[in-house]
Chains A and B, each alone.
Chain A
Amino acid sequence: MSTISREEVARLAGLARIDLTESELTRLAGELDVIVDSVAKVSEIATDDVAATSHPLPLTNVFRADVPEEPLPVADALAGAPSAEGGRFAVPQILEED
């Protein structure tokens, strides 16, 4: 029984800015279905007394001291920029302000 529809994959692809062909949408819907089913099995095992995990290591409170470090030189920072102007990254026109 398929739980992930092609439409859902298309919407997700849109949100993630990934351009998928029709055949890719169909294939991924099937593959994601398998993954979702597998995760669902985990949910069956996980009960209320099992804490949710977001990290493989059992660590908490790993903090850095608030001490400045050497920044990247501007030239290095901009080295990968397709375009720059006055020390800033130049990007295509932004259509909508958040």
Chain B
Amino acid sequence: MSTTTPPLVDYDDALARFDPVIGIEVHVELGTATKMFDGASTEFGAEPNTQVTPVSLGLPGALPALNGKAVESAIKIGLALNCEIAELCRFARKNYFYPDVPKNFQTSQYDEPIAFDGWIDIELDDGEVVRVEIERAHMEEDAGKNTHVGGATGRIHGAEYSLVDYNRAGIPLVEIVTRPITGVGERAPEVARAYVQTLRDIFRALDVSEARMERGNVRADVNVSLRATPEAPLGTRTETKNVNSFRSVERAVRHEISRQAGVLDAGRTVTQETRHWHEDTGVTTAGRVKSDAEDYRYFPEPDLVPVAPSRAWVEEIRATLPEMPVARRRRLQTEWGYADAEMRDVVNAGAIELIEATVAAGAAPAAARKWWMGELARTAKTEGVELADLPVTPEQIGQLQQLVDAGRVNDKLARQVLSGVLAGEGSPEEVVTARGLEVVSDDGALVAAVDEALAAQPDVVEKIRGGNQGPIGAIIGAVMKATRGQADAGRVREIVLERVQQG
């Protein structure tokens, strides 16, 4: 058997000859205050092993107690994904040995997921809608976190030993599994990304998770297989684990399509295995071959009683579901009058809520978009933070825009006011007062400044009198300089013309 890796096949070439089928498993960490089966806190970023109890650590005799809020969140997710909610379901033990699973089993659900048989419509960048069928959504618990010591990069290779922090062990997860997604062809990578993005938006809308990708709140495993034609049976799939950004989901699917096409072209067969995604190089590498290790010897968890959500409870929860993100986006786009491309940029920048609040604070939708997608987006990029994490509130942007609308500051001054707000100098009004940034609206002061500028450039006066308005800019520039940018350029222009005519 050859061990060389067949070359990747060009993506378009691969798509011309193979039909890709994808499937996605998404894990979401629920935003409950405590873990799934014990009262340890779930707060992010605590010192190692400071958020553990005997249950989190799997100490002998420790017994799980199910978090009701987590069950409610799982039902919410199931309903938002148009699933049936089980009349009765159980937890099961998934047995395997790994240091981050302190009990030597993960408490999960096996053949009785809390939610099943759902679907969700996702919208691609060009507005095309694809329906993704959901096979199931089940409850389980997260594992601890391993740090590998001694390896050059903190990865397993070359590591001498590993350190384990169990703060994350037992944090409630819901795992959502799609049915095979077929018939999307070359758009498979985009569909995968849009699907994960849609789920992230739904988790946030439901308020069941902070759903922060960079913190690993949402993690995706992507399954890819190829077949010769859409009529052929499904090909052998690979599962690329823990792809943790939208862009990586898209890249990983694309890479697997090219890689598997190369394997098939070389006359070999795709190995059914888990694969690891490498963010830096954009490739996947072989992990564990699915074999005996897959034999998890599931059995019903004897320490927990079944969950049997009454239909009344399910309906009560359904009644609390908020407007779903896709519908909400459509409504807001219409209300705000944004073009498709503008709305897409706003969505991608995570600025919907910010703009909504800014509009509520009195700014016109166009102005709100201009601030958040312009000056503030640039600042966030420079600072390397999310828009929402900038030290300015939508209410302050609304106040700032009202100063502009009232003619009290011009665009240039408004940006200075904003930088003052961002620097923590207070509200826009306070910054205007403290820095003396208000537009000079006193004509007397402006006339004096204009006269001074005209006197300094007598040749310009002649030209303007002669009907050549070109040099007016030089006079306006001089006035703006003299007033430190605090004049209204339009008003200055009017005064210049008046003075020249009168002179």
Residues in A lying within 8 Å of B, measured CB to CB: 11-12, 14-17, 54-55, 57, 59-69, 71-72, 74, 77-78, 80, 85-98
CB pair A90–B163 under 8 Å, yes or no, is yes
**Residue among B41, B54, B57, B301 with the most chain A CB within 10 A?**
B57
Q: A60-B88, A61-B307, A94-B148 are in contact. Are A71 and B53 (CB under 8 A)?
A: yes
Cβ of B49 and Cβ of A88 under 8 Å apart? yes
Docked Cα-Cα span, A78 to B163, in Å, equals: 12
* Cα(A33)–Cα(B300), bound, Å: 22
Contact A97 to B165, CB < 8 A, known contacts A62-B305, A71-B41, A71-B53: no
Chain B residues near A (Cβ < 8 Å): 32-34, 38-41, 47-54, 57, 59, 65-71, 88, 90, 95-99, 146-150, 156, 159-166, 241, 274, 276, 287-288, 292, 295, 297, 300-302, 304-309
The answer to whether A93 and B69 touch across the interface, beta carbons within 8 angstroms, is no
Q: How far is the CB of A34 from chain B (nearest CB, A)?
A: 19
**Across the two chains, which residue of chain A brings its CB closest to B64?**
A64
Q: Which of A15, A60, A68, A97 makes the CB contact (< 8 A) with B297?
A: A15
Question: What chain A residues lie within 8 Å of B99 (beta carbons)?
Answer: 89, 91, 94
Contacts of B241 in A (CB 8 A): 98
> Are B47 and A91 in contact, CB atoms less than 8 angstroms apart?
no
Given contacts A61-B309, A64-B34, 15 further A-B contacts (CB under 8 A): A14-B292, A15-B95, A62-B65, A62-B305, A67-B34, A68-B39, A69-B34, A69-B40, A87-B49, A89-B165, A90-B163, A93-B150, A93-B161, A93-B162, A95-B156
User: Complex Cα distance A74/B40, Å?
Assistant: 13
Partner of A64, one of B67, B274, B288: B67
Residues on the B chain within 8 Å of A87, using CB: 47-50, 165
The answer to whether B53 and A72 touch across the interface, beta carbons within 8 angstroms, is: yes
In the complex where A68-B33, A94-B146 touch, is A74 in contact with B88 (Cβ < 8 A)? no
A91 with B161, Cβ < 8 A, contacts A66-B70, A97-B156 known: yes
Q: Which of A17, A59, A69, A85 contacts B39 (CB 8 A)?
A: A69
